[in-house]
Amino acid sequence: MKLSLKGRINRTLKTSASYFFLVFLAFLCLFVFYALLNNSTRYNADIRREFTLIPGKAFAYNFRNLRKMDFIPIFRGLFNSFIIASSVAVLSSYFSALTAYGIHMYNFRLRKFAYVFILLLMMVPTQLAAAGFVKMMYDWKLTDSFLPLIVPSVSSPIIFFFMKKYLEANLPFEIVESGRIDGASELRIFHQIILPIMKPALAVQAIFAFVSSWNNFFIPALLLSSRSKQTVPIMIGLLRSMDDRTDLGMIYMMILFGVIPPVIIYLFLSRFIIRGVTFGSVKG
């Protein structure tokens, strides 16, 4: 009796410690967003003086000042970033799932070589190939265009690896075989059977791809030169590169505009993740 009571006490303590740790992490994450929102409502002098938890009254003032900056077309930048990031999320998730399905389901001669080759590509840093990629875009006269930022996302080794492992754990071969017996084509099987099964994985990777593309500064800064083609990270960099008289209120306002779309995308796609996890638990 004493051992069982001691075990229950230990389990309660471990559970309480786990919940306390998770609540603490959630507080840290939410506090960062609150600090960002709070500083966007304060004047530049107040931000430089001290930090306070009390919001200011300069939200409209900072927004007006930001709109007055001719070289910072904020809404155009938000639109550009959304077009690029959403295209990258859709293309990288879809074609990575298609590639993973092909290598997982079909037994062809160079199957293992293709799988290992794609995994090796994961080890190549993006910055290592940046110089050659930028030179190639200049030679092809594709600079100051969204195409070099969108089309290469079709090849995403990291997302492919995640999709491959997800299929190995969740896709029975019998489902595909039953579709073939019923006379369905391979593309129809993929679109009507495989993609619905992969919704949680697609949602997770779409979120990661969207956020990664949205926050990408390095390659867009090298390729985009027109003011009308600038993305949000480039605009934030332009604001931060000003002299010591830079208005911090405007910078926090611009960062706030840059944070809101990824949060909305996460809230929209998270329901597919939860639905997939619930479906999997009920099925199990």
pLDDT at 278 over 60: no
Task: Give the C-alpha separation, 175 to 177, whole Å.
Answer: 5
| Overall average pLDDT of the 102-108 stretch | 87
Is residue 265 located within the same domain as residue 152? yes
Q: Which residue has the higher pLDDT, 124 or 95?
A: 95
Q: What percent of the chain has pLDDT over 90?
A: 29
The structure tokens 């919001």 sit at 55
pLDDT at 144 over 80: yes
User: Domain count of the chain?
Assistant: 2
Q: In the structure, what pLDDT confidence band is assigned to residue 6 with cuts at 50, 70 and 90?
A: low
Is residue 95 located within the same domain as residue 44? no
Instruction: Read off the pTM.
Output: 0.85
| Overall average pLDDT of the 139-166 stretch | 90
Of 45, 61, 77, the one marking the end of a domain is 61
User: In which domain, by residue range, is 172 found?
Assistant: 68-283
Average predicted confidence (pLDDT) for the chain: 85
Q: Which residue has the higher pLDDT, 257 or 273?
A: 257
Is residue 36 located within the same domain as residue 15? yes
| Overall average pLDDT of the 46-68 stretch | 87
Is residue 55 located within the same domain as residue 132? no
Whichever domain contains 117, its CATH number is 1.10.3720.10
Is residue 6 located within the same domain as residue 127? no
pLDDT at 280 over 60: no
Q: Which residue has the higher pLDDT, 116 or 283?
A: 116
